[in-house]
Amino acid sequence: MHDYRGGPDWAAWLEHSALAQAMRGGVSLYPAVETLHILGFACLIGGIFVFDLRLVGLGRGIAPAALAAIALPVAGGGLAIAAAAGSLLFVTEAVAYLHNPLFLAKQGLILLGLANLALFHWRFRDGLRQWPAGAALPPAARIAGLVSLAAWLAVLVCGRAIAYV
């Protein structure tokens, strides 16, 4: 990661905080937090991909509400873990991250994925419980699944590539 100067004061303050120094100072804390970030993201991606694949038409033998009851809490827990761990990773080089276009793209794509999720649940809150196993879902639900798959896959790619920019 490049060392950029001239970042926001709050980002520079974060980088010089005791938390950031602790994250950078030990041999095991940073890798442990990075591992938690990856584990959280694996749960997020795994849970959301399974559900999205049902939305787009795979696994029609499974009722969407039954799958949502299992997959979405796993995804939500994964998001919480990934966000907490990612925040700890961010403080170590906050200024540089704010200058990294892939980091910024990742954050925007996370917002897109979350907005898509919120819109889906707002639009289909009642319908989700009523869709039986075997049913083809409404086109808007399939589109939401495709947008979600694309957004979260792009988050994964950007996140992995951040270190190389």
Q: pLDDT digit string (tens) for 72-115? A: 999 999 999 999 999 999 999 999 999 999 999 999 999 999 99
* Band of residue 26 on the pLDDT scale cut at 50, 70, 90: confident
Interatomic CA distance for residues 90 and 98, integer angstroms: 9
Average pLDDT, the chain: 94
Angle (CA) 43-80-55 rounded to 5° is 50
Cα-Cα-Cα-Cα dihedral of 33, 38, 42, 48, to 10°? 80
Residue 133 DSSP SS3 = coil
- The pLDDT assigned to 7 comes to 82
Q: Which residue has the tokens 């990661």?
A: 1
Establish if 81 belongs to a structural domain: yes
Establish if 15 belongs to a structural domain: yes
Domain residues for 121? 9-164
Interatomic CA distance for residues 149 and 115, integer angstroms: 13
- The pLDDT assigned to 2 comes to 45
Q: How many structural domains are present in the chain?
A: 1
- The pLDDT assigned to 5 comes to 60
Burial class (CB in 10 A: 0-12, 13-18, 19+), 28: exposed
Q: What is the pLDDT averaged over residues 42-69?
A: 96
Establish if 3 belongs to a structural domain: no
Establish if 89 belongs to a structural domain: yes
Q: What is the pLDDT averaged over residues 133-160?
A: 96
Establish if 157 belongs to a structural domain: yes
Q: Does residue 1 surpass a pLDDT of 60?
A: no
Per-residue exposure over 30-50, b if at least 16 CB sit within 10 Å of its own CB, e if not: beebeebbeebbebbbebbbb
Establish if 4 belongs to a structural domain: no
- The pLDDT assigned to 126 comes to 86
Q: Does residue 149 surpass a pLDDT of 50?
A: yes
Establish if 75 belongs to a structural domain: yes
Burial class (CB in 10 A: 0-12, 13-18, 19+), 6: exposed
Establish if 1 belongs to a structural domain: no
